[in-house]
Amino acid sequence: MNRRTFLKGAGTATAVSAGAGTWYAYDRGVFSVGEGPAYEPWKDWRNGGAGEALALVRAALLAASPHNTQPWRFKVGGSFIELHIDRQRNVGALDPYLREEHIGMGCALENLLLAAPANGFAAATTLIPGKLSSLGDGPQTELVARVELTEGKHGESELYRAIPQRHTNRSLYDPNKPLAADFIEALNCLPTHDESVKLFLFTNEAVRKKIVELSSLANLQLYSDTHVEAASERWIRLKWSDVQKFRDGLTIDAFGLSPIMSAIAKTLPTRVLSRIASQSQKEGYAERMLTAPLMGFIAVRDRYNRAQCLQAGRIWQKAHLLATARGVAARPSNEAMEMVDYERSLGRPASFLDRLGEMTGDPTWQPTFAFLMGYPMLEAHASPRRPVGAVLDA
């Protein structure tokens, strides 16, 4: 089962759901959306003394990551914070070069840097150069960035204040409500920190349909591979006890279902819900994507350059936080990007990379991240997070 077939499976759950007892519903988390230890980091992220470096880590661990894998580890010194990627926290064949995990590390770095002035620090960042390697090549953890901290002027930005409200929204968007022109302009004006990173925005209906067609094709091809399916399934947490135990992964509450549908899905036995989801077709995914009035690509010059991956992640985190601050919903939609890696890992021709280049109009830019934005039909819920103590290195 994967993140997308789950949507369909949960959506058809009403046809097979039997009434569950109150105790069972409670045990499955029906009445506990956003509650329990797995969600405390969203609530206590500003706890601690002023000028404390751990406050920056608390903000960083609320960042986005693929499948909510949270691949980060932090080493905190008296005047620095190091960001290390945990290569074992990956989605396997779906991300064979850990490209998406490095983008997630960039998201964490952006949150950390936004938290620096809010806690009285000035921050200077060094990105560790290098090329991405295959899953099996490399140590378990690897340094990707170092942030030097000195005393600085205190100040909180609009994006910093949006950190605890930023959640991926996988629900339908309002197709009849275009995004405000000033918001789109603000997106276009986001600093990239690097001339090797560029943002492409698409509002034209014909272009958006082409993106959806390519994404749908990639989705079907990717998840026809049992290795991809299994790697994705590893990060889906259907049991409430697993949500609280692992504090990571994709949960029922975060899949963009209505409150009633989420409650029904939670009351189903795991084996039943898994069977429904795995047997259901992926129809409807394209229609959901097309409700988004804006689609975007984050592109780099070299998609396997580690520093450029980190910078792409910084842009995504910044864009998502800006959207959150302006009441706009956002979510990634990376199937076509994942197919580029998939084809490369199998030694196939780069057909998807070529088609993505046609959409940007400049093949020297390599799209590495795709996203959707729009005004949401339903509220997004938080994803579980591991606590600070679980992500610190001595």
Determine if residue 55 is left, alpha or beta; phi over 0 gives left, psi from -120 to 50 gives alpha, anything else beta. alpha
Pick from 20, 97, 21: which is nearest to 302 by CA? Answer: 97
- Taking the C-alpha atoms of residue 208 and residue 291, their distance in angstroms, rounded to an integer, is 10
pLDDT in tens, 85-140: 999 999 999 999 999 999 999 999 999 999 999 999 999 999 999 999 998 888 89
Q: Which segments of the chain belong to CATH 3.40.109.10?
A: 3-19+166-374, 39-163+383-393
| The three-state (H, E, C) secondary structure of 275-343, written as one string | HHHHHCCCCCHHHHHHCCCEEEEEEECCCCEHHHHHHHHHHHHHHHHHHHHCCCEEEECCHHHHHHHHH
Secondary structure class of 382 (helix, strand, coil): coil
CATH superfamily of 39-163+383-393: NADH Oxidase (3.40.109.10)
Does the pLDDT value for residue 14 go beyond 60? no
Determine if residue 7 is left, alpha or beta; phi over 0 gives left, psi from -120 to 50 gives alpha, anything else beta. alpha
**Which element (helix H / strand E) includes 92?**
none
Question: What distance lies between CA 234 and its chain's CA centroid?
Answer: 16
Pick from 352, 324, 315, 348: which is nearest to 337 by CA? Answer: 352
User: Minimum mean pLDDT among 178-192, 267-281, 373-387: which range?
Assistant: 267-281
Confidence (pLDDT) at 237: 92
pLDDT in tens, 337-371: 999 999 999 999 999 999 999 999 999 999 999 99
Determine how many CB atoms are found less than 10 A away from the CB of residue 62: 22
- State the average pLDDT for the chain: 90
The structure's pTM equals 0.92
Does the pLDDT value for residue 66 go beyond 90? yes
**Which element (helix H / strand E) includes 76?**
strand 72-76
Asked if 333 and 371 count as a contact pair (C-beta separation under 8 A), the reply is yes
pLDDT in tens, 238-297: 889 999 999 999 998 988 888 888 888 888 776 666 555 544 445 577 888 999 999 999
Tokens standing for residue 66: 């693929």
- The topology under which CATH files domain 3-19+166-374 is NADH Oxidase (3.40.109)
Q: How confident is the model at residue 17 (pLDDT cuts 50, 70, 90)?
A: very low
